[in-house]
Amino acid sequence: MRHIITTAAAAAFAATGAAAQDAPFGSEEDAAYAALLWDVMVAERLVGDNAIMAFPYEGTDPHGMMLETFYTRATVDGHDGRLIVKRNYGPAGVSVDEVLGDPSGHLGAVTVMFQRAEGYDDETGNWFWVKYLPDGSLDKNPAGMQLAGLVGKGADAGCIACHMGAGGEDMIFTTDADVAMMK
């Protein structure tokens, strides 16, 4: 199963009479915010041609077979928040040495959680979710919806739907990310 809203979830929006623009993600406003976030990440060298590297570790679906994860803070549009950037590498069977030797050739996507200000969506911890393609453009689900915003809210698939199963209250699987650098 991929870590995106499925066609079934998009069909559920349509079945209720809601249009794609009424979905909790993928709006032009979400896309514009995602573009601001990408620019901040480029400036901080978390993505793009001059991105810093970490030692990749073994991953799994839906993210990638090799991953790099960065936990930090960022300021986007005047708001300072926690930022988690995950670089997703593949294909299946890719090795650490192959990723280190040609990171751009193996990068499949960049998945991000950015904690927006209180009131953005308190129910989901105010996280803004986005899946970028390696060039910074937004990935889309099979229904053609851009994967930015509250991806998976109210659905049985997608970022939020999956991360609701993470232990604790921060929706993060890999670690208790409430470390000093992220507070």
Is the pTM higher than 0.75? The answer reads yes
Question: 105 lies in a domain?
Answer: yes
Q: Is 152 helix (H, G, I), strand (E, B) or coil?
A: coil
More confident residue, 107 or 22: 107
Inter-residue contact 86 to 66 (CB < 8 Å): no
Split at pLDDT 50, 70, 90, the class of 5 is very low
Domain containing residue 75: 7-182
| Over residues 67-92, mean pLDDT | 95
Domain count, the chain: 1
Question: 56 lies in a domain?
Answer: yes
Instruction: For residue 70, give both structure tokens.
Output: 């960065």
Q: How far apart are CA 138 and CA 130, in angstroms?
A: 8
**pLDDT over 90 at 78, yes or no:** yes
Summarize pLDDT for 50-72 with one digit per residue, the tens: 999 999 999 888 888 899 999 99
Summarize pLDDT for 134-172 with one digit per residue, the tens: 999 999 998 899 999 988 888 887 776 777 777 777 878
Inter-residue contact 25 to 130 (CB < 8 Å): no
Summarize pLDDT for 138-147 with one digit per residue, the tens: 999 988 999 9
